[in-house]
A and B are shown apart, each in its own frame.
Chain A
Amino acid sequence: MEFAELIKTPRVDNVVLHRPFYPAVEGTLCLTGHHLILSSRQDNTEELWLLHSNIDAIDKRFVGPLGTIIIKCKDFRIIQLDIPGMEECLNIASSIEALSTLDSITLMYPFFYRPMFEVIEDGWHSFLPEQEFELYSSTISEWRLSYVNKEFSVCPSYPPAVIVPKAIDDDALRKVATFRHGGRFPVLSYYHKKNGMVIMRSGQPLTGTNGRRCKEDEKLINATLRAGKRGYIIDTRPLNIAQQARAKGGGFEQEAHYPQWRRIHKSIDRYHILQESLIKLVESCNDQTQNMDRWLSKLEASNWLTHIKEILTTACLAAQCLDREGASILIHGTEGTDSTLQVTSLAQIILEPRSRTIRGFEALIEREWLQAGHPFQQRCAQSAYCNSKQKWESPVFLLFLDCVWQILRQFPCSFEFNENFLIMLFEHAYASQFGTFLGNNESERCKLKLQQKTMSLWSWVNRPSELSKFTNPLFEANNLVIWPSVAPQSLQLWEDSEAYLLK
């Protein structure tokens, strides 16, 4: 397919652009395969350069011959274009609509983008599992790197290499995979050097209604316990949801079969509940005319900060079990690709000083989100302005970034990166010239040959000129565990991101 077919009118003169914080500009609007560009005629400088994939929704309005297109972006910006001529306006609108909703991933911009910068370090190779394991290997003798998933046949959403207990062989892992949702058998997420305790993550056990058990599964997780010690299983779902899951073949670990483990249920919401929360929040942030009472009640009704509190509370609980109780933990929800990853990654932010550095945080995103199979393609397909109500669209990653921001606010000197770094990651997760966040897991990324065909976000970010924008000047390495306050009085709305328009 040629993009030209979709572009009925490639160029319109005398278009007026309105957007927040800037005066209106008149200029020439151009459509290309991947961008919407507006340049003012005076000095030929671009005023706007917008990726089609950043467009979440568009509205059209007509007053006489003047058409107006309102573009709502995934990064929450709202842009207005006044276009003279009804036909041009309709053409532009339908082109934008088509170009911003392309089905095929291989037509996306990362496959066409050619970097204008010199690549110093190829980001695709910056955080290889082997290197990450190497960092640990001197201290963790009870763990090994397994390639049981080399062909993605045991677990389609896991990477080829995972860290598992040494005592468990690959055959046992294959058996455990059949007992866990999506084949996601328990793997190592974090090793706490201070006391040798670990965080593992997995999918839910497939116990079903008749209480199926799997000896290998029990053996696997028990292998992480010290003699006489108990561990904790944190199920991110409330007990009743976990019980309901049994009817669909899922379930939770029965006390009888896991006597050395204490199970704790939390309630982190998922899917469309989060998406609706974001939609409500952004909607009320965009309404500048509402009075105080309405604003507060809408902020409350959005539940956004409630989600933040619940996720942070669960992460603190996990970190506490590990650091204070000296116990190992297994974390899962249903699939183990959303709330599970929020908790495992935030617990590491709390516990592990390295994850608060730029490099360490990138490694964390790579390990706990990309390699761990968070389905970015599905979750970030639409943002706050979508109406589709698809179950799989959900701001899980944005909530994680917001939680990191909350901790950053409370420990402003303990992070090497600043708020801009988090915002940059949010923007690239939703629309990017880089291939990093394409696809839903390692297996899909391999099939798409992203390493060969696209550029990694890290190749761009990790150049000194870019890094300087994301560095926190107040950073002083803090080797302690940092415990955030999760009281409502301590949590704040992240205006720079959520209320993009009002700042």
Chain B
Amino acid sequence: MEHIRTTKVEQVKLLDRFSTSNKSLTGTLYLTATHLLFIDAHQKETWILHHHIASVEKLALTTSGCPLVIQCKNFRTVHFIVPRERDCHDIYNSLLQLSKQAKYEDLYAFSYNPKQNDAERLRGWELIDLAEEYKRMGVPNSNWQLSDANREYKICETYPRELYVPRIASKPIIVGSSKFRSKGRFPVLSYYHQSKEAAICRCSQPLSGFSARCLEDEHLLQAISKANPANRYMYVMDTRPRLNAMANRAAGKGYENEDNYSNIRFQFVGIENIHVMRSSLQKLLEVNGTKGLSVNDFYSGLESSGWLRHIKAVMDAAIFLAKAIAAESASVLVHCSDGWDRTSQVCSLGSLLLDPYYRTIRGFMVLIEKDWISFGHKFSERCGHLDGDPKEVSPVFTQFLECVWHLTEQFPQAFEFNEAFLLQIHEHIHSCQFGNFIGNCQKEREELKLKEKTYSLWPFLLDDQKKYLNPLYSSQSQKSAVLEPNTVSFNFKFWRNMYHQFDRTLHPRQSVFNIIMNMNEQNKQLEKDIKDLESITAVSGDRPGGQAESTLTTLGQSDATRPTSC
């Protein structure tokens, strides 16, 4: 609380970001230890979590007061006018401090208390169990086994303790390979496709330079290839643009030389790096934040930001991966530079295309836990949870969610969850309210004792499951269905509900979704009524005749006919 000088300011104006008539609401602004709160004259509350604040800006004083512009990581932009410059300055300074914490322990998750006891909290953390998930995929089996090589994080600090590798890959081979891979991230199993016996594996770039080789690494790749009895070759996907990968060779890194590895098919797929993605999003937000934007400026801005091009590149890579497995039964090894950004995107999206389980609410949580959290996507750095290097911040996970959203648009029946679920997850990767996304790898999370000190997000989402259900979902038709999205440029659209989530004036005014949900609810209720009434008539039918019985019977019959007629 030492950062808060002013806790309450009255007569503050909240401007509508897109209104051309400068519409505004007047109300009171409160500053708490965790939130900035605005309550307008109609008692409508706007809560802004300090951790969500990406930037605060104090603009030049105007006649009506001092403007304060706050941009949030969930793409909310608020524009306040504080009557007195002094108050504005106090709030500005406080927010600067509060939005950038220096230590993990100061994050909201460590003080957030949903009034659960220790047992409940622990059960929450056990909800998603990755060992269970590998079992569901069908490993360990005769070709794949659990390796204890990284049990103490000795080989790779950013990998989880439990890793699955080909049964024939011995520990020296693993250790040897890890020394030849950037940050020790050697090839391990990400997803096993049971019926095709093909695997998605992931790693970081090899330290090949211009000519270096590593026999253990070559052996490990061969072992992965051999673990797939159905196919004699495997793909190695380098998700970077060819030029970037080549430039890495000068630094002693690089990519696999096809001559040194037997039976590999090497492929670049050209997804840009985190810096390109960060500035692309920056440009996109600049364009769509413009007041009175013309159609032409919007589309030329959309084009020059390159955002949809990047989304398409990620999607194309995932499709390539899924095709290799589904159509050719070939195993695929995916990497980028460090194997925690683009590799996570491509492996998780590829699995999602292949396996309908990941398109369910619980399956999607498992997928995020596996390919993002456990394999060391650096959430804290990418989301800027702490006051750190701004060059490490990048919307890699946001892009993943956007790719999933595009899939839900193309396959409206294939997903158990709806858009609100994706938006809610996006909200919480930045909120630091739950422990899941805090830290950059499992080892760090264990050191932070997150499971003891914070709560897991997933049980809270599951409790609210109703809000996130897709009414059009048809689980039957999805059995073993591989999604084959069409990636013609024209199928990629601007995700208005993400980037303008809080700009209600830009949204459709009626939601088909809510109506279908309500209709489903009504149907269920009616069906339940029928059952109840039928059971009553059945019971009363056994009794000797009486007046009460006959009334019930007619009631039951008339109700039973209702749903068929509507």
| A positions within 8 Å CB-CB of B | 285, 288, 290-297, 299-300, 303, 305-306, 308-309, 409-414, 474, 482-485, 487-493, 495, 499, 502
Closest A residue, CB atoms, query B300: A300
Other than the given A296-B489, A297-B300, A299-B490, 20 more pairs (CB < 8 A) read: A292-B309, A292-B312, A292-B489, A293-B309, A295-B489, A296-B302, A297-B299, A300-B299, A300-B300, A300-B303, A306-B295, A306-B296, A309-B295, A474-B512, A484-B509, A485-B505, A485-B507, A487-B505, A488-B299, A502-B491
Asked if B294 is at the interface of the complex by the 8 Å CB criterion, the answer is: yes
Contact status of A489 and B490, CB under 8 A, knowing A297-B303, A305-B295: no
- Docked complex Cα distance between A488 and B303 (Å): 14
Contacts of A306 in B (CB 8 A): 294-296
Asked if B506 is at the interface of the complex by the 8 Å CB criterion, the answer is: yes
Kindly provide the distance from the CB of B241 to the nearest chain A CB, expressed in whole angstroms: 14
Contact with A along B480-515 (1 / 0, CB 8 A): 000000101111111010011000011111111001
Contacting pair B490 A499 (CB below 8 A): yes
Kindly provide the distance from the CB of B301 to the nearest chain A CB, expressed in whole angstroms: 9
Contact status of A296 and B308, CB under 8 A, knowing A291-B489, A487-B506, A489-B496: yes
Contacts of B508 in A (CB 8 A): 409-412, 490
Asked if B288 is at the interface of the complex by the 8 Å CB criterion, the answer is: yes
Contacting pair A489 B288 (CB below 8 A): yes
Asked if B293 is at the interface of the complex by the 8 Å CB criterion, the answer is: yes
Contacts of A297 in B (CB 8 A): 299-300, 303
Contacts of A285 in B (CB 8 A): 490
Asked if B47 is at the interface of the complex by the 8 Å CB criterion, the answer is: no
Asked if B298 is at the interface of the complex by the 8 Å CB criterion, the answer is: yes
Q: How many chain B residues have a CB neighbour from A under 8 Å?
A: 37
Kindly provide the distance from the CB of A325 to the nearest chain B CB, expressed in whole angstroms: 14
Contact status of A485 and B506, CB under 8 A, knowing A292-B309, A297-B300, A474-B515: yes
Kindly provide the distance from the CB of B276 to the nearest chain A CB, expressed in whole angstroms: 14
Contacting pair B510 A412 (CB below 8 A): yes
Contact status of A413 and B515, CB under 8 A, knowing A309-B295, A485-B506: yes
Contact of A410 among B297, B302, B509 (CB under 8 A): B509
Contacts of A414 in B (CB 8 A): 510
Kindly provide the distance from the CB of B204 to the nearest chain A CB, expressed in whole angstroms: 28
Kindly provide the distance from the CB of A418 to the nearest chain B CB, expressed in whole angstroms: 12
Kindly provide the distance from the CB of B566 to the nearest chain A CB, expressed in whole angstroms: 11
Asked if B153 is at the interface of the complex by the 8 Å CB criterion, the answer is: no
Closest B residue, CB atoms, query A305: B295
- Docked complex Cα distance between A299 and B493 (Å): 12
Most chain B beta-carbon contacts within 10 A, residue among A295, A299, A493? A295
Most chain A beta-carbon contacts within 10 A, residue among B300, B489, B515? B489
Contacts of B298 in A (CB 8 A): 488-489
Contacts of A483 in B (CB 8 A): 509
Contact with A along B153-176 (1 / 0, CB 8 A): 000000000000000000000000
A-B contact pairs, 28 of them (CB 8 A): A291-B489, A295-B489, A296-B303, A297-B299, A299-B490, A300-B303, A306-B294, A412-B510, A413-B512, A414-B510, A474-B512, A474-B515, A474-B516, A485-B505, A485-B506, A488-B294, A488-B295, A488-B297, A489-B496, A490-B506, A490-B507, A490-B508, A491-B295, A492-B493, A495-B490, A502-B488, A502-B490, A502-B491
Asked if B320 is at the interface of the complex by the 8 Å CB criterion, the answer is: no
Kindly provide the distance from the CB of A404 to the nearest chain B CB, expressed in whole angstroms: 15
- Docked complex Cα distance between A431 and B274 (Å): 52
Asked if B18 is at the interface of the complex by the 8 Å CB criterion, the answer is: yes
Contacting pair B309 A291 (CB below 8 A): yes
- Docked complex Cα distance between A488 and B493 (Å): 12
Contacts of B308 in A (CB 8 A): 292, 296
Contacts of A482 in B (CB 8 A): 509
Kindly provide the distance from the CB of A303 to the nearest chain B CB, expressed in whole angstroms: 7
Contacts of B486 in A (CB 8 A): 502
Kindly provide the distance from the CB of B489 to the nearest chain A CB, expressed in whole angstroms: 4
Kindly provide the distance from the CB of B473 to the nearest chain A CB, expressed in whole angstroms: 18
Contacts of A412 in B (CB 8 A): 508, 510-512
Kindly provide the distance from the CB of A88 to the nearest chain B CB, expressed in whole angstroms: 35
Kindly provide the distance from the CB of A86 to the nearest chain B CB, expressed in whole angstroms: 35
Contacts of A303 in B (CB 8 A): 295-296
Closest A residue, CB atoms, query B515: A474
- Docked complex Cα distance between A317 and B485 (Å): 41
Kindly provide the distance from the CB of B19 to the nearest chain A CB, expressed in whole angstroms: 11
Closest A residue, CB atoms, query B499: A489
- Docked complex Cα distance between A297 and B294 (Å): 14
Contact of A489 among B312, B494, B509, B511 (CB under 8 A): B494
Contact of B296 among A290, A295, A300, A308 (CB under 8 A): A300
- Docked complex Cα distance between A493 and B298 (Å): 14
Contacting pair B299 A411 (CB below 8 A): no
- Docked complex Cα distance between A306 and B299 (Å): 10
Closest B residue, CB atoms, query A307: B295
Kindly provide the distance from the CB of B366 to the nearest chain A CB, expressed in whole angstroms: 31
Contacting pair B494 A493 (CB below 8 A): no
Kindly provide the distance from the CB of B548 to the nearest chain A CB, expressed in whole angstroms: 38
Contacts of A290 in B (CB 8 A): 489
Kindly provide the distance from the CB of B472 to the nearest chain A CB, expressed in whole angstroms: 13
- Docked complex Cα distance between A495 and B496 (Å): 17
- Docked complex Cα distance between A314 and B288 (Å): 22
- Docked complex Cα distance between A103 and B500 (Å): 52
Contact status of A292 and B492, CB under 8 A, knowing A412-B508, A487-B18, A490-B506: yes
Contacts of B294 in A (CB 8 A): 306, 309, 488
Kindly provide the distance from the CB of A476 to the nearest chain B CB, expressed in whole angstroms: 8
- Docked complex Cα distance between A292 and B308 (Å): 7
- Docked complex Cα distance between A305 and B515 (Å): 29
Minimum-distance CB pairs A-B, first 9: A488-B298, A295-B489, A300-B299, A296-B303, A292-B309, A306-B295, A410-B508, A305-B295, A488-B295
- Docked complex Cα distance between A291 and B298 (Å): 18
Contacting pair A413 B510 (CB below 8 A): yes
Most chain A beta-carbon contacts within 10 A, residue among B299, B494, B500? B299
Contacts of A502 in B (CB 8 A): 486, 488, 490-491
The B437-463 residues at the A interface (CB cut-off 8 A) are none
Contacts of B493 in A (CB 8 A): 492
The B258-307 residues at the A interface (CB cut-off 8 A) are 288, 293-300, 302-303, 306
Contacts of B512 in A (CB 8 A): 412-413, 474
Kindly provide the distance from the CB of A501 to the nearest chain B CB, expressed in whole angstroms: 10
- Docked complex Cα distance between A305 and B505 (Å): 19
Contacts of B296 in A (CB 8 A): 300, 303, 306
Kindly provide the distance from the CB of B210 to the nearest chain A CB, expressed in whole angstroms: 32
The B318-353 residues at the A interface (CB cut-off 8 A) are none
Contacts of A484 in B (CB 8 A): 509
Kindly provide the distance from the CB of A154 to the nearest chain B CB, expressed in whole angstroms: 40
Contacts of B506 in A (CB 8 A): 485, 487, 489-490
Kindly provide the distance from the CB of A33 to the nearest chain B CB, expressed in whole angstroms: 38
Kindly provide the distance from the CB of A115 to the nearest chain B CB, expressed in whole angstroms: 32
- Docked complex Cα distance between A296 and B306 (Å): 10
Contact of A299 among B299, B509, B515 (CB under 8 A): B299
Contacts of A487 in B (CB 8 A): 18, 293, 505-506
Closest B residue, CB atoms, query A291: B489
Contacts of B18 in A (CB 8 A): 487
Contacts of A474 in B (CB 8 A): 512, 515-516
Contacts of B303 in A (CB 8 A): 292-293, 296-297, 300
- Docked complex Cα distance between A370 and B192 (Å): 63
Contacts of A288 in B (CB 8 A): 488
- Docked complex Cα distance between A292 and B310 (Å): 9
The B510-525 residues at the A interface (CB cut-off 8 A) are 510-512, 515-516
Closest B residue, CB atoms, query A410: B508
Contacts of B309 in A (CB 8 A): 291-293
Closest A residue, CB atoms, query B493: A492
Kindly provide the distance from the CB of A264 to the nearest chain B CB, expressed in whole angstroms: 15
Kindly provide the distance from the CB of A5 to the nearest chain B CB, expressed in whole angstroms: 44
Closest A residue, CB atoms, query B290: A488
Kindly provide the distance from the CB of B512 to the nearest chain A CB, expressed in whole angstroms: 5
